[in-house]
Amino acid sequence: MSSNLAIKLRTGTHKSHTAAENVGFMKCFLKGVVDRGCFAKFLSNLYYIYSELEAQIERHRDHAVVGGVYFPELNRQAALEKDMKFYYGENWRSRQIKPSPVAQNYIARIQEVSATAPELLIGHAYTRYMGDLSGGQMLQKIAQSALKLKGYQGTSFYNFEEIPDCKAFKDKYRQALDALPIDNVTAEKIVAEANNAFRFNIQMAQELEGNLIQAIGQVLFHALTRGHHSGSTEVAAANQ
């Protein structure tokens, strides 16, 4: 019997997905305005978040529910280490680069659900990885163009070397979600946690807006962020 978790997650996070794309930082990004320093900070936050998320998923790889969507080929930590080295130098580990306050809260939440309700880690994994495999591929191309990057230098995060066919893998991932041995109550809790993960991601993007305004100026920032749109990465994801 299918839990229909994949469709519940998709429909249940639709508003959050659109809200995430309407954050000023992301609106500028989607329009090709990317500041190198802001992008580096964005990736450094993700380095710490994925390091924690992947450690906790690994910890629960034999869990009856979490184990059903254990796909180590999704792991981003090693790719993000390449990006940290690119932006901060070979000695980046000794530079005391810290996650932002929101990223620290995000990490604390991952640790909390891992300790108390590990199945909720699926909400965090879904929010990040499915986004990375969908709209993230478009964001990579934008960053490469805006920052004049060669190859995958500085955008290794978006490069899934172990997943040659993103669309096929996403189908496989959705099938795995639907096959999880969970009831409707647990499914709704996972959807709620996915929305929680979206909130953290939105707040992290908002944290970067001050730095971006300093880099590009208030006038340009307001010109680029005026109005509301329905979510272009969501459209891209639906077409894949």
Provide CB contacts within 8 A for 97, sequence distance 6+: 44, 84, 88
In the prediction, which pLDDT does 230 show?
A: 62
| Domain 5-238: which CATH number of 3.40.50.150, 3.90.550.10, 2.60.120.10, 1.20.910.10 | 1.20.910.10
Other Cβ atoms less than 10 A from the Cβ of 11: the count is 11
The pTM assigned to this predicted structure is: 0.92
Res. 23: pLDDT tops 80: yes
pLDDT one-digit tens code per residue, 111-130: 999 999 999 999 999 999 99
In the prediction, which pLDDT does 238 show?
A: 43
Domain locations in the chain as residue ranges = 5-238
More confident residue, 150 or 3: 150
In the prediction, which pLDDT does 231 show?
A: 57
Rounded Cα distance between 138 and 149, Å, is 15
Rounded Cα distance between 201 and 106, Å, is 8
In the prediction, which pLDDT does 237 show?
A: 44
pLDDT one-digit tens code per residue, 178-206: 999 999 999 999 999 999 999 999 999 99
Q: Token pair 């009831």 is at which residue?
A: 183
In the prediction, which pLDDT does 169 show?
A: 97
Q: Token pair 């990317």 is at which residue?
A: 34
In the prediction, which pLDDT does 215 show?
A: 87
Task: With CA atoms as reference, report the closest residue to 32 among 235, 166, 224, 168.
Answer: 224
Rounded Cα distance between 133 and 129, Å, is 6
